[in-house]
Structure 1
């Protein structure tokens, strides 16, 4: 469980809340209503952009396009119905209910499953950050890549093993340095690579496998994207 000061620093980093008063020991702390914190990422390759609603409250003004993310923002706790629609349309592409807990941090991923939208909500449960290590997890958002594993540099032992579509690993620590990343299938076929990726200390990352392995003319190809969840300054 992350404490309120830690949650405030996440929100401040994301630019969603002005919580500097919470971090100033010379002033009385400001009381904020109970909330959970969610970032939202669009990983649906054929989606042109979504407007997100939590119950009747609109979350974003501009369409969230493929491979884009909304920074952490606060949401009232409890069971919330999330609605995803196209811009300037009242037709819902997806309605899905999630339970938001007080003082919890989440990432929501919009995905494409058999041609329709779906969404998954992950607990962002990382450990205390340190200057010498980064923390990273992986999520498989490719609808057709099958089971995927992550190899680091020349190691033949997967750093993350056997992630099915819409599944993720836990956050794991890596020394702060530059790495070569290779994602392979269950048969050892190379699915995607990223070379000279710098992972810095005091940072938390999510590595996203996204797109289609069997790409058509208009489909987004399979590749990797590194998201930064948190930076401790």
Structure 2
């Protein structure tokens, strides 16, 4: 893992969301061009992703501090930001509402990097926090992991190109793989069920060096709304500039 000082300096430049819809790649990013040195206080860093398809957007609080000004909508992510270390009570509420949809206390450790994933199960909101442990990026390898946020997809596996051996195998709902290294190239991704049925595909996915990715399985296998159907979404956690 890189030094946290390096991460703190670069992380606000590095989060980009890449939506993979019907194999088409779209890219948005939030880049900060301020290279002035900053004295960063002790903190942990957390990104937050809304993976609840039936949710209309949430305002998030850490203890009494509001994290986001605009509602975080389904399939959107908040870039890594610093949080005071210690036990923090996270609350998710609908905009303009004091009613909590979900709340949970998490321990945030100093000099640690996390991702929080908001999910939906049987109409109820849930969330889980994972520690992000990737190795130092290199120019000829990308690092990627898989997280399953689909309530009805069951165990899922990911095939790359024509390989019959999954890069990730049997990832269950609300579980996440370790980061794996993969050659930098354009690949075809095929998500399959435990019975071998194809659930989703994405073609010409450009995995670049010096980058760390999270591939998200989101939505419902059984859904009448296209916007909520099972799909793949790629998030860029970090770029080594």
Aligned-partner SS, 2:39: coil
Further displaced range: 141-150 or 216-225: 216-225
* Closer, same or farther: CA 203–212 of 1 in aligned 2, 3 Å: same
Match of residue 19 from structure 2 = none
Instruction: State how far apart, in whole Å, the 2-side matches of 1:225 and 1:175 are.
Output: 19
1:171-198 Cα distance to aligned partner (Å, 9 max, x none): 1101110000001011001111101100
SS in 2 for 1:81: strand
Residue 128 (structure 1) aligned to one of 108, 127, 136: 136
Task: Report the secondary structure of 1:10's partner residue.
Answer: helix
Pair 1:225-2:233 in alignment: yes
TM-superposed CA distance for 1:138, in Å, is 0.4
What's the CA shift for 1:31? 3.5
Q: Which residue of 1 aligns with 2:178?
A: 170
Q: Could you say which structure has the larger radius of gyration? A: 1
TM-score, length-scaled by structure 1: 0.92
Higher relative strand content: 2
SS across alignment from 2:9: helix
Which structure has more RCO (C-alpha within 8 Å, separation ≥ 6)?
2
Q: What SS is found at the alignment partner of 1:20?
A: coil
Asked if 2 retains the 8 angstrom alpha-carbon contact of 1:12 and 1:20, the reply is no
> For structure 2, which runs of at least 5 residues remain unmatched after alignment?
15-29
Residue 36 in structure 1 maps to residue 51 in structure 2: no
Structure 1 runs not aligned, ≥5 long: 23-29
Residues 16 and 72 of structure 1 are in contact (CA less than 8 Å); yes or no, is this contact kept in structure 2? Answer: no
Q: 1:175 to 1:188 in 2, by over 3 A?
A: same
Residue 113 of structure 1, CA deviation: 1.5
* Cα deviation digits, residues 74-132 of structure 1 (max 9, x gap): 00001100000000000000011111010111111100012100001111110000001
**TM-score under structure 2 normalisation?**
0.89
Aligned partner of residue 13 in structure 2, secondary structure? helix
